[in-house]
Amino acid sequence: MKIKRNSGYSLEVAKLYVPSDVRSFSLSTELIKQVKWIDGKPTNEVSGYQAWFVAEGTEPFKVKFSKKINLPEMLSQVTLMNLEACEVGSNVYFKATGVEVTK
């Protein structure tokens, strides 16, 4: 039986990979800039930023942010605001609108 999945980012897919009841931690010390590519060449236009995180019971994962965020200190416990995920083949891509330090 083949499972039909909706394409695009969704909260439901993110919850499959990063349950909301587990703690998440920041791994990155700096944001990684993503640039727009045209005709196989990078431009100077920034299309987003990425940072690495890990949640209990998961492998480290990269999250894309459309705007520059203030990244917390490494290993800070965090909540990823509006975390969504998208499955493309056997890969999973994450995006969020922000990150908040949790106490």
Q: What is the pLDDT of residues 1-23, one digit of tens each?
A: 555 555 689 999 999 999 988 99
53 by DSSP, 3-state: which?
strand
pLDDT cut 70: percent of the chain above it: 93
Q: What is the pLDDT of residues 39-61, one digit of tens each?
A: 999 999 999 999 999 999 999 99
How much is the mean pLDDT over the chain?
92
Give the integer Cα–Cα distance in Å for 34 and 31.
9
Give the integer Cα–Cα distance in Å for 3 and 33.
35
- CATH topology (fold) of 11-101: OB fold (Dihydrolipoamide Acetyltransferase, E2P) (2.40.50)
Strands of the chain (E only): list them.
24-26, 32-38, 41-55, 61-65, 77-81, 84-88, 91-95, 98-101
Strand 41-55 to 24-26 pairing: antiparallel
